[in-house]
Amino acid sequence: MQVDASIFKAYDIRGIVGKTLNESVAEHIGRAFGTEAKALGQKAVIVGRDGRLSGPAMVAALTKGLRATGIDVVDIGMVTTPMTYYVAATRGQYGANNCIMVTGSHNPKDYNGFKMVLNGAAVFGEQIQGLLRRIQAEDYAAVGKSGKGRLGKMDIQAEYLARIVSDCKLARPMKVVVDSGNGIPGASAPAILRALGCEVIDIYSKVDGDFPNHHPDPSKLENLEDLKKIVHATDAELGLAFDGDGDRLGIVTKDGKVIMPDRQLMVLVKDILSRNKGAQIIYDVKCTQRLAPWIKKHGGRPLMWKTGHSLAKAKLKETGAPIAGELSGHIFFSERWYGFDDAMYTAARMLEILSREKDPSKLLNGLPDSVNTPELNVPCAEGEHHAVVAKLLEVAEFPNAKEVITIDGLRVEYADGFGLIRASNTTPVLVLRFEGHTQEALDRIQAEVMAQLARVKPDATFQAGH
């Protein structure tokens, strides 16, 4: 089978429909994944999809491939990625601790892809390359005596809503604005928030794979402008924004401040540590320098880890930590939840805490903060970004730094901020981020780190990241 190897990424499979990804590829992915599931004694795979226009055709082809290996398929229809994870996490006793979510996540509308869980663990890295090799060799399980797998359908909306509402209790009703950006969360998030006791003003809730209003990516500040305006113009207390497939959350305060996910994590961590003294708290290398002291202050043990939602999930499982979070917006709870990233559940937990406050925006705006850049990308030739980081590790000198952390690229720690250079796991770019306790500190740190990068890559120029 000839397939474009570039679609097999670090954490998922993702390509442009009609160019690098088509129904034939989807069917082969189904056959490869079904073969792996069968080898582990699994019986069924849960399949969901987001609101993209190519979704139905991709699901049909994927399902055909899965069933060809003798694996049963449970189609749960148009749902968020976390809902698909939820079904797999709660159906292990039926040999259905596996799922594939057909989603393009926050990518442009002509993309689609596959996020996968096999036997309760996220499929990433070498396992994804293993699926590619299996497809190239067409090394698939043959259908046994029982014939091809069966196909069933399930509506999970009511069960998922009830599970969140039974877990998260608001101290008082809150009025919130919700922007789903015409992504799949629009079909469920407003109803769940109302069931929690919120008064909800919802915008762009109609699921539309053309994304006519703005792109469903709350990590891009321009996508939050409409939400800010409506929160400001009404008596709502807070604005919530979901990404295209519902695993990342944006938060806007009454006065239009965006609370980045590493600061969202502060609120959640303080609450969790009140019940779990001494617990380890996991966060990625992009997060603010203000986070580790906050974790220690509230009785926790900070653990900085590599960037990547699959890597965070695996580390959460390995350490037994109650929560992990990433600057990108993926937040994972194992306390009271199942260890996967779920923006709807994160929103519910956040509202549970903020509903105890008379002025939630005051609490959020009062969290420790620094001056920082957005994520910056330095474009590289294919494979060059890893070579640049390796060379930097060899030759870079930071005499004014306190420490250089090398778990994922270089995070150069200063007394008053940090600089980060790491190789992206998904595209051929260097990912840079700078933070200072003051603008002067930020400028100084950025200049020092960029001077070292210029030694290794003199033509480095950066642009706003994704």
Q: Which residues of 434-450 are buried (b: 16+ CB within 10 A; e: fewer)?
A: bbbbeeebbebbbebbb
Task: Work out the burial of residue 250: count CB atoms within 10 Å of its CB; fewer than 13 is exposed, 13-18 middle, 19 or more buried.
Answer: buried
Q: Which residues of 77-99 are buried (b: 16+ CB within 10 A; e: fewer)?
A: bbbbbbbbbbbbbbbeeebbbbb
Question: In 96-140, at which residue ranges do the beta strands (DSSP E only) sit?
Answer: 99-102, 111-118, 121-122
| Distance of alpha carbon 131 from alpha carbon 378, whole angstroms | 30
The single residue of 54, 105, 180, 219 carrying the catalytic annotation is: 105
Q: For residue 382, what is the DSSP state?
A: T
| Distance of alpha carbon 79 from alpha carbon 209, whole angstroms | 13
Residues 6+ apart with CB under 8 A from 76: 46, 47, 48, 83, 84, 87, 153, 154, 155, 156
Assess whether 105 carries a catalytic annotation: yes
CB–CB of 100/123 below 8 Å?
Answer: no
- Annotated catalytic sites, by residue? 105
